[in-house]
């Protein structure tokens, strides 16, 4: 079973949006798209924590855990080494926390406006992106960035969300800063 714990802890997140449902849908799609459909089908117990905060909180997390004293759109904190995740998920029989994801409201909203997409679609993209990081995907070099972007694009398409990396928009998910 997939358990997505989504908490709004700071920031101005649209109260009309069902953020827990959006987060669960995004995490489920990312897991399925990355080859963990058994989790989505309820054959393994996995938990992901989503923290919807503000720029100040995410800046503090970025500073304390990454040494970068600035806000960013999404941070992912994996709980396990990527190579261990398949074995842990498929053999533990326990509810396994694979990691935490944090989003910053002001940055997410500003990027959505710049990209001319809804905040919900952009947040979905960032949660997919963060979930892939929890699973060990990265974009530290051009080849891995292209691979991760292609995977994100396929996952988002399955959710009815347009390619966020198309040429006519600026990249909003770029943690290589």
Going residue by residue through the chain, which has 177 residues, state the pLDDT in tens, using 9 for 90 and above. 889 999 999 999 999 999 999 999 999 999 999 988 877 677 778 899 999 999 999 999 999 999 999 999 999 999 988 888 877 777 656 678 899 999 999 999 999 999 999 999 999 999 999 999 999 998 888 888 899 999 999 999 999 999 998 866 555 454 433
Classify residue 33: in a domain, yes or no: yes
Tokens describing residue 47:
């938990």
Predicted TM-score of the model (pTM): 0.91
Q: How far is CA 34 from the centre of its chain?
A: 13
> Is 177 among the domain residues?
no
Only one residue has tokens 């963990």, namely: 36
What would the two tokens of residue 136 be? 């060990």
Provide the residue range defining the domain that includes 70: 2-158
In a domain, 163, yes or no: no
In a domain, 170, yes or no: no
Number of domains the chain is built from? 1
Instruction: Report residue 147 CA to chain centroid gap.
Output: 16
Is residue 93 assigned to a domain? yes
Residue 62 CA to residue 82 CA, distance in Å, equals 21
> How far apart, in whole angstroms, are the C-alpha atoms of residue 102 and residue 82?
19
Contact 104/61 with Cβ under 8 angstroms?
A: no
CATH number for the domain that contains residue 23: 3.40.390.30
Cβ-based neighbours of 105, under 8 Å, separated by 6 or more? 10, 11, 12, 13, 52, 53, 54, 55
The single-letter DSSP state of residue 34 is T
Q: Is 173 within the bounds of a domain?
A: no
Instruction: Give me the phi and psi of 48, to 5 degrees please.
Output: -130, 135
Position 128 in a domain = yes
Whether residue 169 is contained in a domain is answered as no
DSSP 8-state symbol, 84: G
Angle at which helices 19-33 and 142-158 cross, to 10° = 120
Q: What is the pLDDT of residue 173?
A: 55
């Amino acid at each position: 079973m997939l358990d997505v714990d989504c908490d709004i802890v700071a920031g101005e997140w649209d109260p009309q949006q069902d953020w827990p449902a959006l987060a669960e849908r995004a995490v489920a799609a990312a897991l399925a798209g990355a080859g963990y459909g058994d989790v989505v089908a309820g054959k393994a117990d996995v938990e992901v924590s989503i923290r919807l905060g503000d720029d100040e909180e995410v800046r503090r997390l970025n500073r304390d855990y990454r040494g970068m004293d600035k806000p960013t759109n999404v941070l992912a904190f994996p709980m396990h080494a990527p190579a261990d995740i398949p074995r842990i998920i498929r053999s533990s029989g326990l509810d396994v926390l694979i990691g935490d994801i944090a989003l910053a409201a002001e940055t997410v909203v500003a990027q959505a406006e710049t990209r001319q997409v809804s905040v919900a679609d952009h947040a979905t993209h960032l949660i997919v992106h963060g979930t892939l990081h929890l699973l060990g995907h990265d974009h530290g070099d051009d080849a891995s960035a292209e691979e991760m972007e292609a995977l994100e694009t396929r996952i988002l398409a399955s959710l009815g969300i347009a390619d966020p990396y198309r040429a006519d928009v600026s990249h909003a998910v770029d943690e290589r800063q």
